[in-house]
Amino acid sequence: MDIAALLTSAGINIAVCVVLFSLYSILRKQPSNVNVYFGKRLASRSSKSRDLCLDRFVPSPTWVMKAWETTQEEMLTTGGLDAVVFSRMVVFSIRVFSVAAVICTILVLPVNYYGRDRKHKNIPFESLEVFTIENVKEGSEWLWAHCLALYIITLTACTLLYFEYKCITNLRLLHITSSQPNPSHFAILVRGIPWSPDQSYCETVKKFFSFYHPSTYLSHQIVYKSGSVQKLKDDAEYMCKMLSSGCGSMEQTCKPSFAQCYFCGGSTNSFKIISNETDSIHGRTGYSDVHLNARKKECAAAFVFFKSRYAALTVAQSLQTSNPMLWVTDLAPEPQDVYWSNLCIPYKQLWIRKITTFAASVTFVLVFLIPVTFAQGLTQLDKLEKMFPFLTGMLQKKFVIQLVTGYLPSVILVLFLYAVPPVVMLFSTMEGCVSRSERKTSACSKFLYFTIWNVFFVNVFAGSVISQLAVFSSLTELPAQLAKAVPAQATYFTTYVLSSGWASLAFEIMQLFPLFCNLFQRFILGYNEDTINGFLTFPYHTEVPRILLFGFLGFTCSILAPLILPFLLFYFVLAYLVYRNQILNVYIKKYDSGGQLWPIAHNTTVLSLLVAQVIALGVFGIKQSPVASGFTFPLLICTVLFHQYCRQRFLPIFKNNATQVLIDMDRRDERCGRMEQIYEQLTSAYCQFSSSNQSECFSSQGEREDVRTPQDMEKANEMTEDISWPPVIHSFDKPVKGGK
């Protein structure tokens, strides 16, 4: 591939980006698209202007300035700690590759270009291999420039990683200590509850924790079966009862009744259509029937509440019985973060599910080799002509050659990669994750490893090497194999950054699928109300792997093919603006993992540095430079030691809550007299069903096993209707600051 083919790919992507960004700046001003581009504003019920003016139809860069001027505090308030962490990933990449671009342009690029005594063509007709380390002759004394650049890039990356890790750790501690009382700090999730023929799960949980934790146990809430199959089964049973009871009982059943949900304290209206998929037997039976049928719907899982944060932490981290498969305790996720569908999975099945998911993931990776190999084969015109002889005449044209080698391979790979996120999300769901953030984090890790393997390693070793897997037959030959293959594919990675990077940002800001759905509803169905679409949470499981993949390509190719760095740097700057705009205007924060994505980013960055150093070690060996090879070994060792230090210093804070912090929070709430108010709200915090369908909620308190009358529940509802979670923290209370 020559410079002209690269410029062709860049020109196509620049044109696509300019058109889409201009179109976005116009569409975002239209009142009919407020639910597409301002979902956060619509969710907060902010007013919108419908005045007709010419400015609505003229492209403008006002959104760029707003995204640029937004502070970290505003990002934290709007998108939560996860949004801040994601933004800092992008900022970290901008800083690192700014230094890398300057160093490699000054030191590495001239050495690569003049590495051999050859007659150079005009720049547009020069082959891209001339700008890579392949053009440096063996035994060259100028390879010290590549080694020096590698040292500077590694030192810069490790320094910035340390300060970012330290800063995000402090933000996480501040997120825990300065926030209002969180019900998840007082609750644990218990799974593997032993079954007893004499008593229900609810009674078993109460007796166990009342006996072994009598001083700290407060109450509990059993998890009930609530899947789609269970709802269909309940509806079928209810229909049978209705048909057998006659018309008189049917009329009596259809009368509207407003009663309080016995199990979670919410109000319910039984006057509903049976065909509604969210309507089930739970809200249509009497209290005696509920009490009799509750045991059939109980799962071997429960949320147990304690009187202090420290007590909950102690129980969650300790082994309850001599059998580790029974009474398994973990810290409970936040109420909005609970993934209820997986709570009823028997704990003994989890290890089988993980093995099955791992096998399915490996199979999916192997199957995906087919489109990846096909996309990579488009860069080799000679093989393409042999496979498709009828294309021989067309492939002789200059523009077609530039289009096929510089644009189509990366576009085809990008299109196939769009099918991966739903699959990895399905795998993460099958694993049995009990929280939405855990499921998204698991999908993020799977998608990250998948893209790094298929985009980098499969493309590097495409052909006979990957088919025979000979590259892994001996680890000692791996650096040499990478040293031969990576520089040859560096130009492909450059075009991949253009097609997958720049264009993906343009499609992200356009929100094409929600925009199409909105247009279909308004102009085809005639529905003119502004409704919030279902794609409002930020897709961290796809965007974090994309950012880290480009960082991986940048580190591994920085000294081998420095031309990738300017395109990569422009991508990160554009991503900084686009993603901040989306977080501020489009996506709504439904839950927050507390910055759990940063350890993934840290580990991937360190892996990128190690792979880059291994490749450099192999290149220096092939180029017969023992001095550069000798200086690379200490760099590898120091990078590994740095990674281990960060794991010991910062990672435990992301795994568990600190005892010191939780005790200080407990004492603060006791001094302010808020503990009783918190206790009252704990039992209703984890409602298994949505607020619009609270009649289905079968959550029970361990201390209230008697069936209450509607009058008693109505009275209790009047006493607590003015109290909302979380309790209000008065202005004179000072939050406890997280230590460094």
Q: For residue range 180-234, list pLDDT tens digits in order.
A: 788 999 999 999 999 988 888 999 999 999 999 999 999 999 998 875 445 545 5
Which is more confident, 498 or 105? 105
pLDDT exceeds 70 at position 620: yes
In this prediction, what percent of the chain has a pLDDT beyond 70? 71
Q: Look up tokens 């591939």; give the residue.
A: 1
E strand or H helix at 428: helix 420-431
Q: Look up tokens 């529940």; give the residue.
A: 713
pLDDT value at residue 417:
81
pLDDT exceeds 70 at position 540: yes
pLDDT, tens digit, 9 for 90 and up, residues 341-398 = 899 999 999 999 999 999 999 899 888 877 777 666 655 555 555 555 656 666 566 6
Residue whose C-alpha is closest to residue 299's, from 343, 351, 352? 343
Which is more confident, 528 or 483? 483
CA 687, CA 403: separation in Å to the nearest integer? 56
E strand or H helix at 191: strand 187-191
| 398's tokens | 């200059």
CA 150, CA 667: separation in Å to the nearest integer? 51
Strands 187-191 and 267-269 turn out to be unpaired
| 146's tokens | 């590549």
pLDDT value at residue 235:
59
Task: State the average pLDDT for the chain.
Answer: 77
Q: Look up tokens 């079966």; give the residue.
A: 225
Which is more confident, 544 or 680? 544
CA 701, CA 686: separation in Å to the nearest integer? 11
Q: Give the highest mean pLDDT range of 116-130, 306-320, 509-523.
A: 306-320
pLDDT value at residue 611:
93
> Which residue type occupies 589?
K
Cα atoms in the 13 Å half-sphere on the side-chain side of 189: 22
Q: Look up tokens 């209703």; give the residue.
A: 684
pLDDT exceeds 70 at position 118: no
Q: Please give the backbone phi and psi of residue 286, each rounded to the nearest 5 degrees, phi first.
A: -75, 175
Angle (CA) 647 152 565, round 5°: 100
Give how far the C-alpha of residue 163 lies from the chain's centroid of Cα atoms, to the nearest Å: 23
Helix axes 3-27, 398-406, angle to 10 degrees: 70
Mean pLDDT score, 513-540:
74
* Contacts with 200 (C-beta within 8 Å, 6 or more apart), sequence order: 222, 294, 295, 298
Q: Give the highest mean pLDDT range of 71-80, 241-250, 396-405.
A: 71-80
pLDDT value at residue 544:
95
pLDDT band for position 627 (cuts 50, 70, 90): confident
Mean pLDDT score, 225-248:
58
| 98's tokens | 């700014």
pLDDT exceeds 60 at position 281: no
pLDDT value at residue 248:
46
pLDDT band for position 280 (cuts 50, 70, 90): very low
Q: DSSP letter at 283?
A: G
pLDDT value at residue 119:
66
Mean pLDDT score, 481-499:
79
Q: Which of 91-100, 468-477, 639-648, 657-666 has the lowest mean pLDDT?
A: 468-477
Q: DSSP letter at 725?
A: S
Q: Please give the backbone phi and psi of residue 331, each rounded to the nearest 5 degrees, phi first.
A: -65, 135
Q: Look up tokens 């810069």; give the residue.
A: 156
pLDDT, tens digit, 9 for 90 and up, residues 674-707 = 898 899 888 788 887 654 333 333 333 334 333 3
Prediction pTM value:
0.79
pLDDT value at residue 519:
83
pLDDT value at residue 685:
87
Q: Give the highest mean pLDDT range of 62-76, 466-480, 703-717.
A: 62-76
pLDDT value at residue 487:
78
Alpha helices in 563-623 (DSSP H): 564-585, 598-622
pLDDT value at residue 732:
30
Give the CA radius of gyration of the chain. Answer: 30
Rounded alpha-carbon distances, angstroms, from residue 12 to 17, 120, 436, 543: 9, 27, 38, 23
Supply the DSSP string of 617-681, one letter for each residue. HHHHHHTT-HHHHHHHHHHHHHHHHHHHHHHHHTHHHHHS--HHHHHHHHHHHHHHT-HHHHHHH
Residue whose C-alpha is closest to residue 134's, from 426, 561, 467, 433? 561
Angle (CA) 126 127 131, round 5°: 95
Task: List, in sequence order, every residue forming a beta bridge with 187; answer none if it has no partner.
Answer: 305
Which is more confident, 400 or 483? 483
Q: Which of 241-255, 536-550, 570-584, 681-695 has the lowest mean pLDDT?
A: 241-255
pLDDT band for position 177 (cuts 50, 70, 90): confident
pLDDT band for position 15 (cuts 50, 70, 90): confident
Which is more confident, 518 or 68? 68
Mean pLDDT score, 230-242:
59
pLDDT exceeds 60 at position 52: no
CA 16, CA 54: separation in Å to the nearest integer? 25
Residue whose C-alpha is closest to residue 547's, from 604, 599, 509? 604
pLDDT band for position 410 (cuts 50, 70, 90): low
Cis peptide preceding 726, ω within 30 of 0: yes
Farthest-apart Cα atoms in the chain, separation? 100
Cβ atoms of residues 325 and 347 within 8 Å? yes
Cα atoms in the 13 Å half-sphere on the side-chain side of 142: 15
Cis peptide preceding 710, ω within 30 of 0: no
Which of 581-591 are b and which e, b meaning 16 or more Cβ less than 10 Å from the residue's Cβ?
A: bbbbbbbbbeb
Which is more confident, 25 or 161? 161
Q: Give the highest mean pLDDT range of 21-35, 282-296, 361-375.
A: 21-35
Q: Give the highest mean pLDDT range of 215-229, 237-251, 325-339.
A: 325-339
pLDDT exceeds 50 at position 6: yes
Which is more confident, 677 or 276? 677
Mean pLDDT score, 441-449:
93
Which is more confident, 151 or 181? 151
pLDDT, tens digit, 9 for 90 and up, residues 551-566 = 999 999 899 889 889 9
- What's the N-to-C CA distance of the chain in angstroms? 51
pLDDT value at residue 387:
59
pLDDT value at residue 440:
93
pLDDT value at residue 113:
78
pLDDT value at residue 279:
39
pLDDT, tens digit, 9 for 90 and up, residues 119-148 = 666 665 566 778 888 878 887 888 888 999
pLDDT value at residue 329:
94
What domains does the chain contain, in order, with CATH numbers?
A: 3-180+478-657 (no CATH), 183-240+292-333+673-688 (3.30.70.330)
Cβ atoms of residues 256 and 269 within 8 Å? yes
Cβ atoms of residues 194 and 347 within 8 Å? no
CA 718, CA 724: separation in Å to the nearest integer? 13
| 490's tokens | 């560096």
Task: List, in sequence order, every residue forming a beta bridge with 301; answer none if it has no partner.
Answer: 191
Q: Please give the backbone phi and psi of residue 365, each rounded to the nearest 5 degrees, phi first.
A: -65, -40
